[in-house]
Amino acid sequence: MDIEPTFFDSPGAGGIVGQPLDRVDGRDKVTGKARYAAEFPLPGLVYGVLRTSEIAKGKITRIDTAAAVKEPGVIAIFTHENLPKLAKTPNTPEGKKAIGAPMGFLPLTGNEIHYANQPVAVVVADTFERATHAASLVKVSYEQAQPIASFLDPKAEIFDPQKVQDGKTDGHTRRGNPKSALAASPIQLKATYTHAINNHNPMEPGSTTAHWEAADRVTVYESTQGVTRTQQALSEMLGLPRDQVRVITKYIGGGFGCKGSCWPHTPLTVLAAKAIGRPVKLVLTRPQMFTSMGHREDQTQTLTLGATKEGKLTALIHEKTSTTSPWDNYAESNSKIIDLLYECPNFEATYQLARANVMTSTFMRAPGEAPGSFAIECSMDDLAAQLGMDPIQLRLLNYAEKDPSTGKPWSSKSLKQCYARGAELFGWSKRNPKAGATRDGKYLVGMGMATASYPVHNSQGTARVRLYADGHAVVQSGATDLGTGTYTVMTQVAADSLGLTVDKVRFELGDTRLPTAPNSGGSVAAGTVSSSIYMAAQDVWQKLTKLAVQDKRSPLYRAKPEEVTNEKGRLILKNDKSKGEDFAALMKRLELTDIEGTGNGKYGAGYESGMAASAADSGHKDDAGQHSMHSFGTHFCEVRVDPELGTVRVSRWVSVHAAGRILNAKTARSQIIGGSIFGIGSALMEQTVRDDHFARYTNASLADYHIPVNADIPEMTVEFIDEHDPYINAMGVKGIGEISMVGVAAAVANAVFHATGKRIRSLPITPEKVLNAGIAS
């Protein structure tokens, strides 16, 4: 492919890509017709409920199910003593790798308890109420041991891992000579940032409905961000060929990372269904959501920064310590964004871990980038304040014209435009340079900003397009739509690629019987799936071109295929657009009812042909290509702090991002707003509290774990910078699911600093912390 997709600049000319099309699944969602994983009324369906552990560490000495079994309607109770065996478990490193499991431990495979609320039994009954009550009647006796609650526990042993993030990030990296550079720097800032545990808490809890259609064939309706990954995990665990495990996810009620992997409740449900010979549905309770699908780990980061008197960065040294599980070395890779956000010749990052009695943490929206950006963006704000420099000026002074971490050029970067446009929309010039100096009645008013960045991750996928002679098309890819708009934007891409109107296109997703697509995670889905569809459409056009140039009745007869292009559903000569014909005319004449094309959208295979071949290898890492590929943006925040009551409210918000091609202005705006709100939650209120002694959460509910409510959120302004990236993928789409959250906490914290003159480096910034900062006195 050597040209930018032709509809790129075409909104005004009738193209639909980029337009603010209403969601094609909107009607299903506003009428309650959209069915989620727990909403398939299969014949004979029964209900599974997890019984979980009261203790965080020890051994089960006895499980007494006598009382539970006697309850009416109870069909079976599975414990470690009678759970059917799996072909593979994640309990060994090899097993974990083959399964792609997020945690190196599957409950009910032994009598050991490693974390609080670890599942100890699955109770199946004919109604939800009976299963739930029977689960509470299972009597579990334990031999209890003293658990370790976190890396802060005096009993915890801190260690230096070789790798973190499941082997994806080095435990220690260095570039240049940061220590001596720091020692030689006239300005040195060192600060420590802490983060509470966060839980994803999508509105739809984790849900599995397992239906064995034959002894060796199962269909699983699953709340997952990736049907393929779930299929792979289950087929490995069950020892079944992949095509005998079908996973369906037509709608999913949010994920944010916690549904990106196959967690224990899924195989447990599938096993229970097999054992009893009936379909089983298991839905996690909201409290169970805090201990079943991972979390963002509790962590502390220390960032040391060296700079010249003018404000040029000379050294960045980052150290992170966090809690991990008894089996896995998981930590978010905070350092990556710190390594590349600004020009700095010397850099060092170190990860430290401690094992505690917790489940393995997992990726949560902008994993690493969210907390990492909090540290670097607050430190940059400190540096600006110390120098008496405008925070945007400081960032421009340290602007990275190429990727400092690799030395490679950016595939595209429009961050300067983001700063300029964001500042203009927000009214940044009206900001009083002095912190703690703006009052509105009882409120202290502050303005803050932060930079956002997120990588375009390596991924690839496939799609199929079937174009019918009657002028409609069915387009398929086994992707998922988390609410990000996949159904809608892919319909738009297919329509423009085929020269059809959107009402003539049906896009199908969420089924392992469809062409394979990547997980909807890491912001890869939009770019990969849209590119797959675009290329599948090109495949269709190439096939049609071949037919046309061989057909004597075609105006294109005997044209060279490379001289033929397509536009709005017509095959035409490149140098004489008047010569050509509609696909429908050609197909009808040839008595073709339909024609099919397939496409493989790849990371790095952009429309600049030079890149495509070298980087389009799924075995390559993110940095395999000749360019560094990232989206960039900014958030601007105004807060009103009540210094006496300690409350912080966001009163204005502006986000400006550049993320390549934006496929739908409406859904993209919503996604940026949503990510910003997610970040405001982490900045101001979200924290899961683990008791130090019991290693057990004390606030596992939506009443006590606060996520933002409507009244917390002001009107928000979002804009995108028009950006054409010829390298990232065929559609030039970078993805916006995560960048929307990066830098948000820092923008809020910087606004709080500007309002109060006090720097709060511990998230969330609750009234307690504001009061303890001593602003009022």
Partner 1 sequence: MSDNFPPDQRGPAPEDGTRRSFMKQAGGILGLALAPPFISKAERLTALSRKVEGVSEMQLKVNGTVRTIRAEPRVTLLDALREHLDLTGSKKGCDLGQCGACTVLIDGRRVNSCLTLAVMAQGKEVTTIEGLAKNDELHPLQTAFIKHDGFQCGYCTSGQIMSGVACINEGHASSDDQCREWMSGNLCRCGAYPNIVAAVREVAGNKS
Partner 2 sequence: MNNFAYQQVDKPKDATAILRDDKQAAFIAGGTTLLDLMKSNIEQHSQLVDINLLPFKGIEQTSDGLRIGALERMSDVGESRLIVEQYPAISESLLLAASPQLRNMASIGGNLLQRTRCGYFRDPAFPCNKRVPGSGCPAQTGDNHNLAILGVSDSCIANSNPGDLAVALIALDAVLTLENAKGKQRRVPLNSFYLLPGKTPHKENVLEPGELIVAVTVPAAAHARRSTYLKVRERTSYAYALASAAVGLDVQGGTIRSARVALGSVGAQPWRSPEAEKVLTGAPATEATFRAAAAAALRGAQPREHNRYKVELAQNTLVRALTNLTSA
Q: Name the residue with tokens 């929206």.
A: 365
Query: Could you say whether residue 42 binds partner 1 (CB under 8 A)?
Result: no
Taking CB under 8 A as the binding criterion, the range among 271-279, 631-639, 702-710, 751-759 that sits at the site for partner 1 is 702-710
27 binding partner (options partner 1, partner 2, none; Cβ < 5 to 8 Å by kind): partner 1
666 binding partner (options partner 1, partner 2, none; Cβ < 5 to 8 Å by kind): partner 1
Burial of 501 (0-12, 13-18, 19+ CB in 10 A): middle
Question: Rg of the Cα trace of the chain?
Answer: 27
560 binding partner (options partner 2, partner 1, none; Cβ < 5 to 8 Å by kind): none
Instruction: Name the residue type at position 600.
Output: N
b/e map 486-495, b = 16+ CB within 10 Å? bbbbbbbbbb
The one among 107, 311, 404, 483 contacting partner 1 by CB under 8 A: 483
Smallest distance from partner 2 to CB 698, Å: 3
273-332: which residues touch partner 1 (CB under 8 A)? 283, 285-286
Q: With respect to partner 2, which residue has the nearer C-beta, 113 or 524?
A: 113
Task: Give the integer Cα–Cα distance in Å for 539 and 277.
Answer: 44
Taking CB under 8 A as the binding criterion, the range among 11-19, 435-443, 444-452, 669-677 that sits at the site for partner 1 is 669-677
Q: With respect to partner 1, which residue has the nearer C-beta, 26 or 610?
A: 26
Q: State both tokens at 609.
A: 């042909």
Taking CB under 8 A as the binding criterion, the range among 62-70, 327-335, 489-497, 706-714 that sits at the site for partner 1 is 706-714
Smallest distance from partner 2 to CB 685, Å: 5
How many angstroms separate the Cα of 290 from the Cα of each of 112, 324, 359? 20, 15, 10
Query: Could you say whether residue 26 binds partner 1 (CB under 8 A)?
Result: yes
Q: With respect to partner 2, which residue has the nearer C-beta, 368 or 764?
A: 764
Total residues contacting partner 1 by CB under 8 A comes to: 61
Q: With respect to partner 1, which residue has the nearer C-beta, 82 or 127?
A: 127
Task: Give the integer Cα–Cα distance in Å for 601 and 462.
Answer: 6
Per DSSP bridges, beta strands 158-159 and 112-113 are unpaired
Q: With respect to partner 2, which residue has the nearer C-beta, 617 or 691?
A: 691
**DSSP one-letter code for 184:** T
Smallest distance from partner 2 to CB 267, Å: 25
682-701: which residues touch partner 1 (CB under 8 A)? 701
Per DSSP bridges, beta strands 717-720 and 172-175 are unpaired
Task: Give the integer Cα–Cα distance in Å for 108 and 83.
Answer: 7
Residue 560 contacts residue 574 (beta carbons within 8 Å): no
136 binding partner (options partner 2, partner 1, none; Cβ < 5 to 8 Å by kind): partner 2
> Helices marked H in 358-499 — which ranges?
369-387, 391-397, 415-426, 486-498
Query: Could you say whether residue 70 binds partner 1 (CB under 8 A)?
Result: no
Residue 461 contacts residue 529 (beta carbons within 8 Å): yes
Q: State both tokens at 247.
A: 């996973």
Smallest distance from partner 1 to CB 45, Å: 9
Q: With respect to partner 1, which residue has the nearer C-beta, 520 or 729?
A: 520
Smallest distance from partner 2 to CB 212, Å: 30
Task: Give the integer Cα–Cα distance in Å for 286 and 750.
Answer: 33
The one among 8, 11, 19, 34 contacting partner 1 by CB under 8 A: 34
Query: Could you say whether residue 251 binds partner 1 (CB under 8 A)?
Result: yes
**DSSP one-letter code for 359:** P
Smallest distance from partner 2 to CB 61, Å: 17
Binding interface with partner 2 (CB under 8 A): 54-55, 116-117, 129-130, 132-133, 136, 287, 442, 644-647, 649, 684-685, 689, 691-694, 696-701, 703-704, 706, 708-712, 766-768, 771-772, 776
Smallest distance from partner 2 to CB 769, Å: 8
Query: Could you say whether residue 675 binds partner 1 (CB under 8 A)?
Result: yes
Residue 514 contacts residue 52 (beta carbons within 8 Å): no
Smallest distance from partner 2 to CB 32, Å: 17
198-227: which residues touch partner 1 (CB under 8 A)? 201-205
Query: Could you say whether residue 711 binds partner 1 (CB under 8 A)?
Result: yes
Q: What's the helix, strand, coil split of the chain in %, to 5?
A: 30, 25, 45
Task: Give the integer Cα–Cα distance in Å for 720 and 656.
Answer: 6
The Cβ-side half-sphere exposure at 253, using a 13 Å CA radius, reads: 17
Q: With respect to partner 1, which residue has the nearer C-beta, 36 or 428?
A: 36
772 binding partner (options partner 2, partner 1, none; Cβ < 5 to 8 Å by kind): partner 2
Q: With respect to partner 2, which residue has the nearer C-beta, 30 or 645?
A: 645
For 633, the enclosing helix (H) or strand (E) is: strand 630-642
Task: Give the integer Cα–Cα distance in Å for 755 and 650.
Answer: 12
Query: Could you say whether residue 35 binds partner 1 (CB under 8 A)?
Result: yes
Query: Could you say whether residue 252 binds partner 1 (CB under 8 A)?
Result: yes
Look at residues 78, 221, 75 and name the one whose alpha carbon lies nearest to residue 86.
78
Q: With respect to partner 2, which residue has the nearer C-beta, 183 or 645?
A: 645
Task: Give the integer Cα–Cα distance in Å for 473 and 320.
Answer: 51
**Per-residue three-class SS string for 260-301:** CCCCCHHHHHHHHHHHHCCCEEEECCHHHHCCCCCCECCEEE
Task: Give the integer Cα–Cα distance in Å for 518 and 714.
Answer: 35
Query: Could you say whether residue 649 binds partner 1 (CB under 8 A)?
Result: no
Taking CB under 8 A as the binding criterion, the range among 28-36, 354-362, 605-613, 687-695 that sits at the site for partner 1 is 28-36
Smallest distance from partner 1 to CB 474, Å: 23
Residue 578 contacts residue 555 (beta carbons within 8 Å): no
Q: With respect to partner 2, which residue has the nearer C-beta, 38 or 685?
A: 685
Per DSSP bridges, beta strands 280-283 and 46-52 are parallel
Burial of 277 (0-12, 13-18, 19+ CB in 10 A): exposed
The one among 256, 507, 534, 632 contacting partner 1 by CB under 8 A: 256
The one among 3, 67, 645, 702 contacting partner 1 by CB under 8 A: 702
Q: Name the residue with tokens 């109107």.
A: 501
The one among 15, 16, 17, 36 contacting partner 1 by CB under 8 A: 36
How many angstroms separate the Cα of 495 from the Cα of each of 243, 410, 491, 550? 30, 31, 6, 27
Neighbours of 189 (CB within 10 A): 15
413 binding partner (options partner 2, partner 1, none; Cβ < 5 to 8 Å by kind): none
Q: Which residues are catalytic?
A: 738
Smallest distance from partner 2 to CB 278, Å: 22
Task: Give the integer Cα–Cα distance in Å for 653 and 748.
Answer: 10
Q: With respect to partner 1, which residue has the nearer C-beta, 22 or 310?
A: 22
DSSP-assigned states of every residue in 234-249? HHHHHT--GGGEEEE-
Q: With respect to partner 2, which residue has the nearer C-beta, 199 or 235?
A: 199
Q: State both tokens at 252.
A: 């999913």
90-129: which residues touch partner 1 (CB under 8 A)? 127-129
Q: With respect to partner 2, which residue has the nearer C-beta, 102 or 646?
A: 646
Residue 548 contacts residue 571 (beta carbons within 8 Å): yes
696 binding partner (options partner 1, partner 2, none; Cβ < 5 to 8 Å by kind): partner 2
697 binding partner (options partner 1, partner 2, none; Cβ < 5 to 8 Å by kind): partner 2
Smallest distance from partner 1 to CB 123, Å: 16
Smallest distance from partner 2 to CB 744, Å: 16
For 424, the enclosing helix (H) or strand (E) is: helix 415-426
Q: State both tokens at 323.
A: 């809690």
Which residue ranges make up the site for partner 1 (CB under 8 A)? Answer: 22-23, 25-36, 38-39, 41, 127-129, 201-205, 251-254, 256, 283, 285-286, 482-485, 666-667, 669-671, 673-678, 701-703, 707-716
